[in-house]
Amino acid sequence: MSVIKEPQARFLRACNRLPVDRTPVWFMRQAGRYMAEYRAIRAEHSLLEICRQPELAVEVTLQPVHSLGVDAAILFADILLPLIPLGVDLAFIKDEGPVISNPVRSRADVEALHPVEVEAELAYVLEAIRILRGELPDSVPLIGFAGAPFTVGCYLIEGGGSRTFAQAKSLMYSDPDTWHALMQRLSKLITDYLLAQIQAGVQAVQLFDSWVGALHPEDYREYVLPHSEQIFQALSETGVPTIHFGTATATLLSLMKEAGGDVIGVDWRMPLDLARRQLGKDVAVQGNLDPTALFAPRPTLERHVDRVLEAAGNKPGHIFNLGHGILPTTPVENVRAVVEMVHAKTAVKSVEPSRG
Ligand code: CP3
């Protein structure tokens, strides 16, 4: 006899659009330089060392869980890690961010990418997940993640960050066959990587398409949607909730939904009620406090929190988060205050909230 059990953790309930006792909160980039505990580890180890030593990745993942009281943990890793076994020479340079010294610019470059055995070559990520599942309480689910093919492909083609994505988009427009071949390689790698994370124990996954807002909707449909869709289709067979996140996506939300995701992550430029109008009722939403509101005086911060909660409305299927990652100089006490505000303002007195 199989009994389908409803998840208990409020984060997983919200992913499934079930009623919750309080709106769940977590933050993109909740582990990082704004925390003294992170800086202490970072003073001794590079970012890649932290990612590659499971005990360190576990410790850093748990820091915000202990310090902030968030409702989910996100595995400490980076969207660019899966590029390393492809043969990409990746470094994180202080004040510059990621730099790739052998960017992909041609069909020959795509074909030279190495085949990847995720279980072996990204074993350190999977090991961190297994340890974390033993350490986290059931009330704090573990989120795994990967970058989406477009966003990861942009770093790979540009050789680092970019404002315009001129190199990536010119490859996309001038040599669509090579573009699609690269997106295919990345979709396969990202699918394998996320499935391995799920097998290792993550309880939800987020696909970060952080820079997809650089695209016109028709270009999104032609050059990106089929590849992201393939990833979500493979994941849907696992039953693990999926979150699809991007920024500057006001004109892309319905297409992102079409590509997939049980939850759509929305940035701060787009009020959640407007987002929901585009998205319809059959997905949950995540977001979307402006990360810079965390620098505001407390009453202003509180107004911004209220604005997000009011736009989300008193309906199931909202996960409180920022509209993008926490900035490195954010005061940690303000982050903690947001967790407390959201929990206090959304607390449901009755244990049996009405459904409907
Ligand atoms: O959210 C978390 O707490 C988990 C850890 C996490 C990191 N990167 C660690 C990290 C996550 C989810 C990411 C995702 C990521 N990485 C994205 C998508 C999210 C987003 O912000 O849009 C992107 C685009 C990257 C690529 C990347 N990694 C950049 C552009 C940079 C440099 C910018 C910066 O903030 O320094 C990184 C480095 C990085 N990844 C840091 C952290 C904590 C800072 C590194 C440090 O300690 O020096």
CA of 261 to the centre of ligand 1 (A): 22
Kindly report the pTM of this predicted structure.
0.96
pLDDT along the chain (356 residues), means of 10: 75 98 98 97 98 98 98 98 98 94 98 98 98 98 98 98 97 98 98 98 98 98 98 98 98 98 98 98 97 98 98 95 98 98 89 50
Of 143, 137, 12, which is closest to residue 74 (Cα–Cα)? 143
State how beta strands 204-209 and 242-246 pair: parallel
Hey, which of 60, 79, 206 would you mutate to test ligand 1's pocket, going by the most ligand atoms within 8 Å of its Cβ? 79
CA of 80 to the centre of ligand 1 (A): 9
Q: Which residues line ligand 1 (CB under 6 A)?
A: 28-33, 42, 47, 74, 76, 78-80, 92, 97-98, 145, 161, 208, 210, 325
Residue of the nearest CA to atom 34 in ligand 1? 97
* Integer Cα distance of 55 and 143 in angstroms: 17
Note the pLDDT of residue 136.
Answer: 98
Two tokens, residue 89: 């020479």
Note the pLDDT of residue 356.
Answer: 42
The kind and range of the H/E element at 197 are: helix 176-200
Q: Is 33 a catalytic residue?
A: yes
* Integer Cα distance of 311 and 300 in angstroms: 17
Q: Is 89 a catalytic residue?
A: no
* Integer Cα distance of 354 and 356 in angstroms: 7
